Chains A and B, each alone.
Chain A
Amino acid sequence: MSAPLLVVDNLHIAYRGDKGDVTVVKDFSLTLGSAETYGLVGESGSGKSTAAFALLGYLAEGGRIVSGSIKVNGAEITTLDEEGLRRLRGGDIAMVYQEPASALNPVLTIGRQLVEARLAHRPGSKAQALADAADMLTKVSIGDVQAMLRRYPHQLSGGQAQRVVIAMALLAEPKLLVLDEPTTGLDATVEAGVVDLIGELARKIGMGLLYISHNLALVGRICERVGVMYAGRVVEEGSTRDIFGRPRHPYTQALIACRPAVTEGTASRRLTVIPGQPPAPGIHIEGCAFVPRCPHAVPGRCDQAAAIAVKTLAGNHFVRCARADDDLAIAAVASEAETRPLPGPEVIRIEHLSKAYLPRNAFGLARRVDLAQLPKANDDISLSVRQSEILSVVGESGSGKSTLARILIGLEEASEGRVLLLDQDVARRRAWRRPRSLLRALQMVFQNPDSTLNPSHKVGAIIGRAVKRLGQIQGRQAITARVDELLAQVQLPQSFVGKYPHELSGGQRQRVGIARAFAGEPDIIIADEPVSALDVSVQAAIVNLLLDMQREAGTTFVFISHDLALVRHISDRVVVMFGGRIMEIGRPAEIFAPPYHPYTEALLQAAREGRRKVPAFDPAPPPRTGCRYAGRCPRRIDGLCEIKEPPRQATPDGHVIFCHLSWEQFGAAQTFSEGD
């Protein structure tokens, strides 16, 4: 191996706080050879992004490097001035950020921005730069390169924008590419494509890769080495094979265990959780910071300074654990077989539901148009949900799953069809026109922990208002008592009533949102991606909480998600949607094994680790006639699928597939995905 590209030695980074300096990155060392791929994993607040940003000389205001050195190609960069850093950034090291949209200038064409990026780092003529830009776009799997060069950023999908940003970073021919959660906010199918693309490019071009993510599984797909960060320290580092095959640190073990696998079903729905929370930055913990949450911690041994000394295991595998040499069983939280309420009578019945957004004129009035001419967010959906059932709706963005939820909860009106909620038709009745009893019966848990709670209201007021509106409780004292009871149910301390949402972590906010939804003891809960914005270890706790509350009260659940592993784990039935239509309905065992719909198959492929070649990278808008998936379907029957509506094919036990292929052919589809 050639001389290492990047050597970080004993880096300490601190931020100025109210009560003195807070060290957020401790004793960070990293050696990265050229063309090596390294994944840095950690929960939010673990210091992973701070460490990565420091490599480019970026530190937020108040931050400084306390000690340690960063050498790029042998040159120290901690002492560089602004001009030196500018040359470094984008030259030797390029970075791709979380939000692709904000990395592009909205008023310049893609072509112009790529040419600028190319010329800023390497001299050459404009024509040459343009040719290079086009060439690079081809490399990042953009189909129509010439059209893309003329487009503006707002005309791009999230996946396209991220690939353009990657192309821009690569145009400078960096020796090291740093990626900070580059696929957060992208659909699962798109995410799989982008991640695989990054891995392939790194191999092809031979550049170093530092990939930062909270998702261990994702990092494992493309990186040769993985480092796991906890509370500012790298607690374990090793080859991907060692980290996944023989994780030695209890934190790494727990991180791997708390994700359900998409490839297998399990007996219990409860997920393995890591108890407790990571320590707040600035709190000094003697010895190992994971001790308070560690099932294997030994007092007097793990809480000594020596506990975090680095131990070297076979195969360049490093771990900071006092018990690294002990054979620790992976902590499995007892998953007792649980009794689940049996599905009861039908509580939601949807018949031929369609939703189109009517165009409006200059005065804001809806224009009269033929519904058949409009694109539909929901198109002829028929579905029923029974009491105490957990029904999952999966599909990528634009599949219409969120629109369906909004119609059910009464934020939108349906254009056509019937929606029976406890035998009352609510298709054209928005929430404010529904009787109190129906409002109480159906409540929702929202996706985004940052916007689910009103930042101006205290937690007590937020839950109290829901209790007052939806619970059959009168009187201030009774309401306060009920708020306390709900907080206890979502495992938050009573003192939280006086806190504002910004004082809470994402997981805590989501708990408050759950308490609010359960305030009126609803019959049905709609959960729209309730955990997708949370850290992996927090996700498990929130899912368990939802499942416990669902089981105790026999609540019906409509769970909207793109996380197939989670869906497989918790659902009674699964609905797969695409382009506003239902593609497949069935029990998890039926959905996750052949025979399945070609679209379900593509989704599963994207979710499974190691499977590449996700078909159809650039989703075209679904056609208005025939099968909505025909445009992307690798098994399309030309002259049939894009013209004629697919027939409904069903088994006696309720497995439904809408497709022109015959039932026998669904099984055959499996063979082509194995040839990869």
Chain B
Amino acid sequence: MRTILRRFSPSPSALIGVALIVAWGLVALLAPLIAPYDPSAIDFAAAADPHPSLAHWLGTDSSGRDILSRLIWGARTTFTVVPLAVVSAFAAGILLGVPAGYFGGWFDALVSRLSDVILAFPALIIYIILITALGPSLLNIIIAVTLAYAPGVSRIARGITLALREQDYVAAAQARGESSLYIMFAEILPNARGPLIVDLCLRAGYTVILTGTLGFLGLGLPPPTPDWGGMVVESAHLLPIAWHMAVFPCVAIASLVIGCNLLADGLRKEGLT
């Protein structure tokens, strides 16, 4: 732990980013312990006056559910959906991009043209089409994010592979008769990790926004799952009279996204990856 801290110490922005992400991660992990109420429990008394009070520090929503508890449980939702979706997108992108760069030829042509087609659509359109067609569920959100992000990831992986495959250590591995699989994933991929990790942090941030947006459009996980985006949309029309209902979930989304971006920025600048 101390060595990790020392590695990050030259970059305050990375440190703040890590702190924000770790804090939210702990909240998600410990949700059952720290949430003061059940996120779905309805407090009829509080619903009459939903504003922050001693009983409900961040107030309640229009149905009288405790916002703090819903935020804490909502972190759990975010920390399930986002990592799964991003890791899946990266797995797909790397599995396509590294061989495309390494082998070139028709496989590269095929992957690159397919990527072009998908990248031609705005990501949001892809989500809306897919989620409305398949229905909102954890798996479908993961599929949608993978489809939208994999082309971008595969381009990065392909570009790095193109440069790295000319290195002498790759030639040495080839001269030993190593399999292409070994060369791609044991010789090349570990050296591509730097830019890929930075990109992963950035895309994790986007995915937080995205799950929020999907929730806002009513395409998030079905209620009553506590969901930050869903919380915003449910209370947006009450903004003039009960600002806290929409603002607190927005702050939660923003802080996590900023955390991801600061980490990405710090890693890139300091070359810590």
A interface residues with partner B (beta carbon < 8 Å)? 360, 362-365, 406, 409-411, 430-432, 434, 436, 439, 442-444, 446-448, 451-457, 462, 465-466, 469-470, 513, 516
Query: Which of chain B's residues have a CB closer than 8 A to the CB of A470?
Result: 176
Besides A362-B109, A439-B175, 9 other A-B contacts (C-beta < 8 A): A360-B105, A363-B106, A364-B106, A364-B109, A365-B106, A411-B171, A444-B172, A451-B169, A465-B176
B172–A516 contact, CB under 8 A?
Answer: yes
Minimum C-beta distance from A513 to chain B (A): 8
Interface string of B136-174 (1 = CB under 8 A from A): 000000000000000000000000000000011101101
- The contact sample of 9 A-B pairs, CB cut-off 8 A, is A364-B106, A409-B171, A411-B174, A430-B174, A432-B179, A444-B172, A446-B168, A451-B167, A456-B193
Q: How many pairs, one residue from A and one from B, have CB atoms within 8 Å of each other in the complex?
A: 74
Task: Find the B residue at minimum CB distance from A455.
Answer: B191
A431–B176 contact, CB under 8 A?
Answer: yes
**CA A443 – CA B177 in complex, angstroms?**
11
A444–B171 contact, CB under 8 A?
Answer: yes
Task: Find the B residue at minimum CB distance from A430.
Answer: B174
A431–B169 contact, CB under 8 A?
Answer: no
Query: Which of chain B's residues have a CB closer than 8 A to the CB of A457?
Result: 190
**CA A453 – CA B177 in complex, angstroms?**
17
Query: Which of chain B's residues have a CB closer than 8 A to the CB of A448?
Result: 168
Query: Which of chain B's residues have a CB closer than 8 A to the CB of A447?
Result: 168
B177–A439 contact, CB under 8 A?
Answer: yes
Query: Which of chain A's residues have a CB closer than 8 A to the CB of B178?
Result: 432, 469
B234: Cβ under 8 A from any A Cβ: no
**CA A364 – CA B105 in complex, angstroms?**
4
Most buried by A among B108, B109, B172: B172
B168–A436 contact, CB under 8 A?
Answer: no
**CA A409 – CA B170 in complex, angstroms?**
13
Query: Which of chain A's residues have a CB closer than 8 A to the CB of B105?
Result: 360, 363-365
Minimum C-beta distance from B186 to chain A (A): 8
B190–A456 contact, CB under 8 A?
Answer: yes
B104: Cβ under 8 A from any A Cβ: yes
Interface string of B100-132 (1 = CB under 8 A from A): 000011101100000000000000000000000
Query: Which of chain B's residues have a CB closer than 8 A to the CB of A409?
Result: 171, 175
A410–B174 contact, CB under 8 A?
Answer: yes
Interface residue range, chain B: 20 to 34
B169–A453 contact, CB under 8 A?
Answer: yes
- 6 closest cross-chain pairs (CB), A and B: A456-B190, A446-B168, A364-B105, A454-B169, A452-B168, A451-B168
**CA A443 – CA B187 in complex, angstroms?**
18
B191 touches which one: A442, A444, A456, A465 (CB < 8 A)? A456
Query: Which of chain B's residues have a CB closer than 8 A to the CB of A465?
Result: 176
**CA A442 – CA B168 in complex, angstroms?**
16
Minimum C-beta distance from A341 to chain B (A): 24
Query: Which of chain B's residues have a CB closer than 8 A to the CB of A436?
Result: 177
Minimum C-beta distance from A388 to chain B (A): 21
**CA A606 – CA B172 in complex, angstroms?**
33
Task: Find the B residue at minimum CB distance from A465.
Answer: B176
Query: Which of chain B's residues have a CB closer than 8 A to the CB of A446?
Result: 168, 171-172
Task: Find the B residue at minimum CB distance from A361.
Answer: B109
A431–B175 contact, CB under 8 A?
Answer: yes
**CA A443 – CA B175 in complex, angstroms?**
7
B178-226 with Cβ < 8 A to chain A: 178-180, 187, 190-191, 193
Minimum C-beta distance from A573 to chain B (A): 24
Task: Find the A residue at minimum CB distance from B174.
Answer: A431
**CA A577 – CA B59 in complex, angstroms?**
83
**CA A411 – CA B167 in complex, angstroms?**
12
Query: Which of chain B's residues have a CB closer than 8 A to the CB of A454?
Result: 167, 169, 187, 190-191
Query: Which of chain A's residues have a CB closer than 8 A to the CB of B191?
Result: 454-456
Query: Which of chain B's residues have a CB closer than 8 A to the CB of A469?
Result: 176-178
Question: Quick one: given A363-B106, A364-B109, A432-B179, are A452 and B174 in contact (CB under 8 Å)?
Answer: no
A411 touches which one: B106, B169, B175, B179 (CB < 8 A)? B175
**CA A3 – CA B176 in complex, angstroms?**
63
Query: Which of chain A's residues have a CB closer than 8 A to the CB of B175?
Result: 409-411, 431, 439, 442-444
Task: Find the B residue at minimum CB distance from A432.
Answer: B177
**CA A469 – CA B169 in complex, angstroms?**
15
**CA A325 – CA B205 in complex, angstroms?**
71
A364–B104 contact, CB under 8 A?
Answer: yes
Minimum C-beta distance from B166 to chain A (A): 8
**CA A362 – CA B172 in complex, angstroms?**
30
Query: Which of chain A's residues have a CB closer than 8 A to the CB of B104?
Result: 364
**CA A462 – CA B170 in complex, angstroms?**
12
Query: Which of chain A's residues have a CB closer than 8 A to the CB of B167?
Result: 451, 454
Task: Find the B residue at minimum CB distance from A447.
Answer: B168
Minimum C-beta distance from B245 to chain A (A): 49
Minimum C-beta distance from A217 to chain B (A): 28
B75-123 with Cβ < 8 A to chain A: 104-106, 108-109
B176 touches which one: A363, A455, A456, A466 (CB < 8 A)? A466
Query: Which of chain A's residues have a CB closer than 8 A to the CB of B109?
Result: 362-364
Minimum C-beta distance from A138 to chain B (A): 37
Minimum C-beta distance from A527 to chain B (A): 12
Minimum C-beta distance from B78 to chain A (A): 32
Query: Which of chain B's residues have a CB closer than 8 A to the CB of A410?
Result: 174-175, 177
B168–A431 contact, CB under 8 A?
Answer: no
Query: Which of chain B's residues have a CB closer than 8 A to the CB of A411?
Result: 171, 174-175
**CA A430 – CA B178 in complex, angstroms?**
12
Task: Find the B residue at minimum CB distance from A468.
Answer: B176
Task: Find the A residue at minimum CB distance from B170.
Answer: A454
Query: Which of chain B's residues have a CB closer than 8 A to the CB of A516?
Result: 172
Minimum C-beta distance from B181 to chain A (A): 11
**CA A455 – CA B167 in complex, angstroms?**
11
**CA A455 – CA B273 in complex, angstroms?**
13
**CA A21 – CA B177 in complex, angstroms?**
48
**CA A437 – CA B24 in complex, angstroms?**
56
Query: Which of chain B's residues have a CB closer than 8 A to the CB of A442?
Result: 175
**CA A436 – CA B177 in complex, angstroms?**
8
